[in-house]
A and B are shown apart, each in its own frame.
Chain A
């Protein structure tokens, strides 16, 4: 999967922040990963460790904040929780769902020194 490019994206964000906010070491990273973002947290951890080796974030703790999936059900006319993209609406059992939550993939905050 693409976790490696995404982990590289995390490092790019960290390095850009380091230049702007002047810090030289990152000790912890909190990542927000939506349930429907198509990212495997374990693969992300593996790739994060690999790409940060030798960087200012080497050895940083990676905390993953999982956000739940949500979708607009056209039949029920409301937002319902969904576990994945193949789930049916938990209210009506239909599949006329438009995903509207849990797709985020972002760096929430950093612990730096």
Chain B
């Protein structure tokens, strides 16, 4: 279990799929089953004693007495990064402009998505992958707004990874030459490290949060290409200093683009919609 946020090993559930269980017994046996009844057992080879161990120097690669050092030099995120590259390639082949939306919980991502869907209706085809620890409430909100959506529940996991997105995308049947919005789990820490194959990470910060969010969660702002400052209609009631927040974000990432928007009043929505339109046009496959 994670000491900081309390998350456990991800057991993602993608809507429409049976939940898989895997657990380890005291005796070292792995046991995994789905609710559909399939059942598999794995067992690690028991650690052998020296007496029953016959060395094969050719196989062992050198030393034949006891311990040896093996140079590995493998990146921990290599598996995720390879799947993210595969996702990126698939999106490119279908002319899909994919965005990974990240924020703290409650920044207004889902409301922003609903308003974005309403604005884009009949103009741009789009689909949504919704990530949350539990419930399919968000995917239902998105579907009610008229877009194709699939929910991924990460279970105890605190972020989406490239494999979850690949599996969700498979089931989503997204149209070609379209926009794919991936709403990550509300968390400004972990999703920064996991590439999903998106064109850009978009970090959403609402003005009801602290303006020093970029300094508190720098990795996320370093990884994002666009920052959306949302709920700007509330500014008159708050002491939030937009200029300072932008300055902090640029301190972490000098290239980050910034837009101030309000899904409710519509302020700044035109700029956001245009930005999406340009991205989709650039990603689209050449006609014919």
B-binding residues in A (CB < 8 A): 1-6, 8-10, 12-13, 17, 21-25, 27, 36-38, 40, 42-43, 46-47, 50-51, 53-56, 74, 84-86, 95-99, 104-113
Other than the given A6-B76, A54-B28, A95-B252, 20 more pairs (CB < 8 A) read A2-B2, A2-B193, A4-B9, A5-B9, A13-B72, A21-B61, A40-B3, A47-B2, A53-B24, A56-B44, A85-B222, A96-B254, A106-B73, A106-B74, A106-B76, A107-B72, A109-B72, A110-B72, A112-B69, A112-B70
Assuming the contacts A38-B219, A50-B1, asked whether A106 and B75 have C-beta atoms less than 8 A apart, the reply is: yes
Contacts of B72 in A (CB 8 A): 13, 17, 106-110
Answer whether residue B250 sits at the interface, using C-beta atoms and an 8 A cutoff: yes
Closest A residue, CB atoms, query B5? A1
Other-chain contact of A109, B70, B158, B159 (Cβ < 8 Å): B70
A5 to B59, CA, bound (A): 31
Let me know if B47 and A24 touch, CB within 8 A.
Answer: yes
How many B residues touch A, CB cutoff 8 Å?
50
Contacts of A106 in B (CB 8 A): 72-76
Contacts of A108 in B (CB 8 A): 71-73
Let me know if B9 and A110 touch, CB within 8 A.
Answer: no
CB 8 Å contact bits of B164-193 with A (1 = contact, 0 = none): 000000000000000000000000011011
Contacts of A86 in B (CB 8 A): 215, 218, 251-252
A56 to B8, CA, bound (A): 21
A22 to B158, CA, bound (A): 34
A95 to B254, CA, bound (A): 8
A-binding residues in B (CB < 8 A): 1-5, 7-10, 24, 26, 28, 44-45, 47-48, 59-61, 66-77, 79-80, 157-159, 161, 189-190, 192-194, 215, 218-219, 222, 250-252, 254
Q: Which of A4, A9, A10, A74 has the most CB of B within 10 A?
A: A4
Question: Can you give 17 contacting A-B residue pairs, CB < 8 Å?
Answer: A1-B158, A2-B7, A2-B159, A2-B189, A2-B194, A4-B1, A5-B190, A6-B77, A9-B76, A9-B77, A12-B79, A22-B59, A85-B252, A106-B76, A109-B72, A111-B67, A111-B69
Contacts of A9 in B (CB 8 A): 76-77, 79-80
Closest B residue, CB atoms, query A42? B3
Instruction: Report the minimal beta-carbon distance from A112 to chain B, rounded to whole angstroms.
Output: 6
Contacts of A51 in B (CB 8 A): 9
Let me know if A8 and B9 touch, CB within 8 A.
Answer: yes
Let me know if A1 and B252 touch, CB within 8 A.
Answer: no
Let me know if B4 and A5 touch, CB within 8 A.
Answer: no
Let me know if B70 and A17 touch, CB within 8 A.
Answer: yes
Let me know if A105 and B28 touch, CB within 8 A.
Answer: no
A86 to B66, CA, bound (A): 46
Closest B residue, CB atoms, query A88? B251
Closest B residue, CB atoms, query A12? B79
A18 to B60, CA, bound (A): 11
Let me know if B74 and A54 touch, CB within 8 A.
Answer: no
Let me know if A112 and B68 touch, CB within 8 A.
Answer: yes
Contacts of B74 in A (CB 8 A): 13, 106-107
Instruction: Report the minimal beta-carbon distance from A27 to chain B, rounded to whole angstroms.
Output: 6
Q: Which 7 A-B pairs have the closest CB atoms?
A: A85-B218, A2-B190, A95-B251, A9-B76, A1-B4, A38-B219, A107-B72
